[in-house]
Amino acid sequence: MRTCDDIEGAAEVRHIILYRPDNESRHVVVCYMSDSVRGRIDDVEVYDIDTRRLVEVMQRSGEPPVRSCQNALWAFLWW
């Protein structure tokens, strides 16, 4: 396990970053890295851990990208 600090820089293209906001959360945030640009997040989705269903789409390819997975994760905590 590692922190989320600069995790996008460590991820290769086409990798997926999974994040659970805290131990009590029943959601998982999924950051899909770009197919061609290292360090760029293309899609961010939130899933319910129990039902495995999509809860929220936070970003899709073509939308202005979030600067970091950490920013996307903090945004999730606010809604």
Is the alpha carbon torsion for 6, 8, 59, 57 positive or negative?
Answer: negative
Does pTM surpass 0.85?
no
Question: How far is 58 from 44, CA to CA, in rounded Å?
Answer: 5
What pLDDT score does 78 carry?
Answer: 47
Domain ranges of the chain: 7-78
Each residue's pLDDT, cut to its tens digit, for the chain (79 residues) gives 556 667 777 788 999 988 887 788 898 888 898 899 888 888 888 899 999 999 988 878 766 666 566 565 555 554 4
